[in-house]
Amino acid sequence: MASAYAISVPPQIAEPTNIHAPKAPSIKAFAEAIGQAAALPSNYNSLVDPRDKDEVDDSLAALIPVIDFSLLTSKDPEIHAKAVHDLGKACTEWGFFLIVNHGMSDNLMKDVIEATRNFFELPDEEKQEFSDTSAASPLRYGSSFNVQAESVHFWRDYLKAFTHPQFSIPNKPAGFRDVAAEYCHKGREITKELYRGMSESLGLEANAIADAFGFDTDFQFYIANLYPPCPQPELALGQPPHSDNTAITLLIENGIGGLQVYQRGKWVKVKPIPGSIMVNIGDQLELVTNGKYNGVLHRVTLNNNVTRVSLALAHGPSFDKFVCPIPEIVKDGKLEFKGMNYGEYFYNQQSTQLVGKSRLDLLRISS
């Protein structure tokens, strides 16, 4: 079965009826040059597919699950069991939830967002040093998702760095590497605890999911996003509808809002709650759970007056791991997905356009 939200590749926009953006070193530089009153260049008009205009529902926002992370490690068996149950329900129904009492300090979250922002504030020539079009590169700076492969671009600059097993954060601005290292270390610990709770919620041994992903060489990916003010935010997106190619993404931002998750046929606006971490379930968890967990479809909307910075810390399997549904979950049921080497999956997904759940859909076994 294809994913619930069927997405086609955005149609090519006719030329030359509209203005196209001139080459600029970054969206940040481009936004500053054209100002807020300008018209959006047509090659950034990503809402040309009518399905992207699906209704936005505000009432569902209040139902987004909030998990008290500290209860997952409670020594009281009843409290622990209830937390595991709530976690499993959030992963099944939403594929998205917030965690609170996660042990990451407010100061650390504030500092890592500030350091990330400061990276984007470096002069363009200094950032260009990290621009690299290869998805295989452990460190790359750029705009949109994949400028070479897309017909329509997204209003976003990014820095993508592998942070585990190798740690590739740039050594500028001063202090960036240190604060990012601390954040990444804690993020990996939180993720491992979530894997334990999720495994238990599926009736498996606590280490089942971490085992399926490879314990020591598991992948961690630091995706820093900068979304400058956009002159016509109602026409463009910061990121198109997609699911993350990894397993668990821990997402924080500078309090502006803009993320929407797809639920029950509607887009739901996620309101940032101070101190919480947003958690996205990605393709690899949908795959190993044979579809029991939902890799959440999400997109990023824009505004025309303030810069949003977000940090998506994504966690996935080792690149050399062959990932497939866990046999104990499939048992006598129908096998929903073929397996695949994760390194290959990652490079394929990063080297093409970002379109919905199209990469995972290639592994679905049709009935």
Name the minimum Å distance from CB 15 to ligand AKG.
Answer: 29
Q: Which residue is nearest to ligand AKG (CB)?
A: 310
Report the partner that residue 225 touches, choosing among ligand AKG, Fe ion, none (CB closer than 5 to 8 A by kind). Answer: ligand AKG
Report the partner that residue 26 touches, choosing among Fe ion, ligand AKG, none (CB closer than 5 to 8 A by kind). Answer: none
Residues 6+ apart with CB under 8 A from 21: 30, 41, 43, 44, 153
Selected from 157, 244, 283, 336, the binder of Fe ion by CB under 5 A is 244
Residues 6+ apart with CB under 8 A from 207: 196, 199
Q: Contact, 274 vs 314, CB < 8 A?
A: no
Name the minimum Å distance from CB 50 to ligand AKG.
Answer: 22
Name the minimum Å distance from CB 239 to ligand AKG.
Answer: 5
Q: Contact, 205 vs 317, CB < 8 A?
A: no
Q: What is the 3-state secondary structure (H, E, C) of 151-169?
A: CCCCCCEEEEEEEECCCCC
- By the 10 Å C-beta count (0-12 exposed, 13-18 middle, 19+ buried), 95 is classed as buried
Report the partner that residue 223 touches, choosing among Fe ion, ligand AKG, none (CB closer than 5 to 8 A by kind). Answer: ligand AKG
Helix, strand, or coil (residue 146):
coil
As a whole number of angstroms, the distance between CA 235 and CA 233 comes to: 5
**Structure tokens, 260:** 């929407």
- Closest to ligand AKG by CB, 199 or 225: 225
Name the minimum Å distance from CB 158 to ligand AKG.
Answer: 7
Report the partner that residue 300 touches, choosing among ligand AKG, Fe ion, none (CB closer than 5 to 8 A by kind). Answer: ligand AKG
Name the minimum Å distance from CB 204 to ligand AKG.
Answer: 27
**Stretches 21-29, 69-77, 244-252, 349-357: which one binds Fe ion (CB under 5 A)?**
244-252
- Closest to ligand AKG by CB, 196 or 298: 298
Helix, strand, or coil (residue 212):
helix
- Closest to ligand AKG by CB, 218 or 244: 244
Contact set with Fe ion (CB under 5 A): 244
